[in-house]
Amino acid sequence: MSDSLKILVVDDHAEIEEQNARQIERAISETNGDAQVLRLNRARVKELIDVIERIDPSAEDSDWSRLLCELKEFEQYDILFLDYQLREFQDHPWLTAEDLAGVIRAFGGVRQVVIVNRYHEVDFDLGMIGWGTTSADLHVNGRVLSNTGLWLLPDAGDQGIDISRFRPWYWPILGRSVQDTKKCRSELEGLDLESTCILTYLGLDARRSATLTHSALGALNPLSKSPEDTTFAEFLLNGCTGVDEGVRRFLWSHIEEKEFKPAACRVIVSELRRWLTFQVLGPQDVLIDPPHLAQRMPWLLDGPIGDLAIWNITVALDELRGFRTDMVARYRHIAKEHWFSRVVLWAREIQADEAIDDAFRSFVADNSSDAAFQEDFSRFAPANTSVEFTAAFSSIWANRFISSAALDDAAIVYAPKVRVI
CATH of the domain at 163: 3.40.50.2300
Q: Is the dihedral of CA 289, 292, 294, 296 positive or negative?
A: negative
Are residues 146 and 195 both part of a single domain? no
pLDDT cut 70: percent of the chain above it: 97
Can you name the residues that pair with 85 across neighbouring β-strands?
96
Are residues 277 and 323 both part of a single domain? no
Roughly what angle, to the nearest 10 degrees, separates helices 98-108 and 261-275? 130
Measured torsion, CA atoms of residues 148, 154, 159, 162, in degrees rounded to the nearest 10: 10
**CB atoms inside a 10 Å sphere around CB 286:** 20
Are residues 275 and 150 both part of a single domain? no
| Mean per-residue pLDDT of the chain | 93
pLDDT at 92 over 70: no
For the segment 170-189, the average pLDDT, to the nearest whole number, is 97
CB 124 within 8 A of CB 103: no
pLDDT band at 352 (very low <50, low <70, confident <90, very high): very high
Q: What is the rounded distance in angstroms from the CA atom of residue 65 to the CA atom of residue 260?
A: 9
**Alpha helices for 31-110 (secondary structure H):** 42-54, 64-70, 98-108
Among 159, 163, 128, 119, residue whose Cα is nearest residue 27: 163
For the segment 6-33, the average pLDDT, to the nearest whole number, is 96
Residue ending a domain, choose from 261, 281, 301:
281
Are residues 199 and 293 both part of a single domain? no
First to last CA, the chain: 38
For the segment 234-263, the average pLDDT, to the nearest whole number, is 95
pTM of the model: 0.95
pLDDT band at 2 (very low <50, low <70, confident <90, very high): low
CB 137 within 8 A of CB 118: no
Residue ending a domain, choose from 172, 197, 221:
172
pLDDT at 343 over 90: yes
Q: What is the rounded distance in angstroms from the CA atom of residue 5 to the CA atom of residue 33?
A: 9
Are residues 264 and 298 both part of a single domain? no
How many structural domains are present in the chain?
3
pLDDT at 142 over 90: yes
For the segment 204-217, the average pLDDT, to the nearest whole number, is 91
For the segment 238-252, the average pLDDT, to the nearest whole number, is 93
Q: What are the Cα distances from residue 414, in Å, to 138, 345, 381, 411?
A: 17, 29, 19, 10
pLDDT at 367 over 60: no
Largest CA distance in the chain: 70
Q: What is the rounded distance in angstroms from the CA atom of residue 187 to the CA atom of residue 365?
A: 45
Residue ending a domain, choose from 149, 172, 195:
172
Cis peptide before 93 (omega within 30 of 0): no
**Chain segment 280-330, per-residue pLDDT in tens:** 999 999 999 999 999 999 999 999 999 999 999 999 999 999 999 899 999
Are residues 265 and 225 both part of a single domain? yes
CB 264 within 8 A of CB 102: no
pLDDT band at 87 (very low <50, low <70, confident <90, very high): confident
Are residues 167 and 205 both part of a single domain? no
Are residues 137 and 41 both part of a single domain? yes
For the segment 229-246, the average pLDDT, to the nearest whole number, is 95
Are residues 128 and 50 both part of a single domain? yes
Dihedral pair phi/psi, residue 393, rounded to 5°: -75, 150
Are residues 17 and 106 both part of a single domain? yes
pLDDT band at 394 (very low <50, low <70, confident <90, very high): confident
For the segment 108-125, the average pLDDT, to the nearest whole number, is 94
Question: Which of 248-262, 299-313, 356-370, 398-412 comes out lowest in average pLDDT?
Answer: 356-370
pLDDT cut 90: percent of the chain above it: 80
Dihedral pair phi/psi, residue 129, rounded to 5°: -120, 25
**Sequence letter at residue 121:** E
pLDDT at 379 over 90: yes
Close Cβ partners of 136 (under 8 Å, ≥ 6 residues apart): 82, 97, 98, 101, 113, 114, 115, 118, 242
pLDDT band at 91 (very low <50, low <70, confident <90, very high): low
Q: Which domain covers residue 251, as residue numbers?
A: 178-281
> Which residue has better confidence, 94 or 246?
246
Are residues 307 and 261 both part of a single domain? no
Q: What is the rounded distance in angstroms from the CA atom of residue 190 to the CA atom of residue 421?
A: 47
